[in-house]
Amino acid sequence: MADRLVVIGGDAAGMSAASQARRRRGPDELEIVAFERGHFTSYSACGIPYWVGGQVSRIDDLISRDPDTFRNEYRIDVRTRHEVTAIDLDRREVVARSLDDGGREVREPFDQLVYAAGAVPVTPAWARTDAAGVFGVQTLDNGAALLDWLTQDPPPRRAVVVGGGYIGVEMAEALIQRGLTVTLVERSPEPMSTVDPDMGVLVREALCALGLDVRSGASVTGLQSRDGRVVAVHTDAGTFPADVVVLGIGVRPNTGLAAGAGLPLGPTGAIRVDLRMRVMGQDGIWAAGDCVESVHRVSGQPVFVPLGTHANKQGRVAGINIGGGYATFAGVVGTAVTRVCDLEVGRTGLRERDAAAAGFEFVTARVESTNRAGYFPGAERMTVKLIAERHTGRLLGAQIVGRSEAAKRIDVLAVALWNRMTVEEMANLDLGYAPPYSPVWDPVLVAARKAAAELR
Ligand SMILES: Cc1cc2nc3c(=O)[nH]c(=O)nc-3n(C[C@H](O)[C@H](O)[C@H](O)COP(=O)(O)OP(=O)(O)OC[C@H]3O[C@@H](n4cnc5c(N)ncnc54)[C@H](O)[C@@H]3O)c2cc1C
């Protein structure tokens, strides 16, 4: 008799796991049932800001494989609009309820289970409102609802984005592109708190130059509505009128079902998994994506880093193992890039406060350079910051703020970090040079040289 695999969550992690398992074990060997609460499978939440902003025109462009493709080509029994409500580990079955069919309940037995329920938005009390015009941007349905609101007649004119992380700034860009006046409210002293405040200042200055009203160091205290529609956002730094409010205040791992079933959670609140993405101590139970914690390769500590890049890799690892192969997930270094209009931000590794919390003694080096030779058309300023361990010179973290071709330079630094290179070694790296691509000393090399000098 065929084994049965049940997957909870039909996006990046869940469907990567299901597809990999299918590639290795045909339908006669492995039956696969995937439950997805929403309408879509394998969609790109990462593309929502660009869809709202108009750079991507159709929702279909954000779906890499739809349920019918999985059903027909992969022989995966995808049940969309089905919410899993419980996991019974003793009976090895999940309980799910149809969201369309009068709440009909089904019980589905499994030999192997993949828990890939992602993350859920953080919702402080003030954000739990019935007022129309307040939107999260976690799912394609959220994006569609926001787009509907933005295209009503007359269209909204003033937007407040709450949260200055990468999703908040990407949404701010989208709203600017749609012609709205945008206020960005961020509780931390500077936006993009994934970089150190001295780099965040550069982000704030650039956002202001784009015409955004940036209110950092301000906390939202409440929303005001009239006739059921949001009209303003109250903060401890003043009240801002709003015809639309977009929330980007972070996510937490979606572990309610897992915790209910007694699966182990780690110190970050996410599910604990081993190297093969098996839930710690649980045979045949796997977890991947935004609901699990990962090991940070620099600090050695468990971290919650909810990114699509990890969700895809972790799902793949789980699927290979379920399919009878062998794969491990090597951990994360926290590499992330983002763009708001023509401003680019990249980061990898530890920020100063992470390095201090992990117990490292460190030096920092910050340099100003350009993306191309200074005389070459289109040369733009770029700031690179490195953090290196004091006694060994090992790179601990890096951040870049600049314009075109700035952000993806972080990948060179991520590779150096991954391979535990010292800043002295990095200063000698053989990186490409031609005037359209960099100054003769690439900004990465200049920063490494400066950090090495700080160590002496
Ligand atoms: C606006 C936005 C922009 C982003 N940009 C980037 C980016 O540029 N780069 C990057 O690396 N990452 C980005 N991300 C993050 C990335 O989208 C996530 O890390 C990734 O989607 C996680 O995949 P996942 O499969 O773990 O979880 P999810 O994508 O959240 O999928 C989990 C699925 O499980 C379903 N589900 C949950 N509970 C149940 C249940 N009980 N029963 C049935 N189904 C359930 C949900 O409906 C959901 O479809 C962005 C996210 C957003 C919201």
Q: 250-260: per-residue pLDDT in tens?
A: 999 999 999 99
What's the token pair of residue 448?
């490494």
What is the set of active-site residues? Answer: 46
Distance 47 CA to ligand 1 centre (A): 11
* Residue 102 banded pLDDT, cuts 50, 70, 90: confident
Does the beta carbon of 80 sit less than 6 angstroms from any atom of ligand 1?
no
User: Of all protein residues, whose CA lies closest to atom 4 belonging to ligand 1?
Assistant: 46
pLDDT, mean of residues 224-243: 97
Distance CA 25, CA 23 (A): 6
Write the DSSP assignment of 349-376 as a string of letters.
E--HHHHHHHT--EEEEEEEEESS-TTS
Q: What is the model's pLDDT at position 101?
A: 82
| Measured distance CA(289)–CA(411) in Å, rounded | 21
CA of 311 to the centre of ligand 1 (A): 8
Give the H/E segment covering residue 6.
Answer: strand 3-8
Query: Are 122 and 14 spatial neighbours (Cβ–Cβ below 8 Å)?
Result: no
Whole-angstrom distance between the N-terminal and C-terminal Cα of the chain?
67
CB 398 within 8 A of CB 194: no
Question: What's this model's pTM, rounded to 2 decimal places?
Answer: 0.96
Query: 286: closest CA among 421, 113, 455?
Result: 113
Question: Are 311 and 291 spatial neighbours (Cβ–Cβ below 8 Å)?
Answer: no
16 HSE (CA, 13 A, CB side): 22
Report which DSSP code applies to 445: H
Handedness of CA 258, 7, 58, 51 (dihedral sign): positive
Is residue 109 within 8 Å of 4, Cβ to Cβ?
yes
Give Cα 227 distance to the centre of its chain: 35
Q: What is the pLDDT of residues 320-370, one digit of tens each?
A: 999 999 999 999 999 999 998 889 999 999 999 999 999 999 999 999 999
Cα–Cα distance, 25 to 3 (Å, whole number): 10
Q: Which of 290, 310, 317 to mutate to test the pocket of ligand 1 (most atoms within 8 A of CB)?
A: 290
- The pLDDT mean for the chain works out to 96
Top mutation candidate among 6, 7, 11, 192 for ligand 1, by most atoms within 8 Å of CB: 11
Residue 456 has pLDDT above 90, yes or no: no
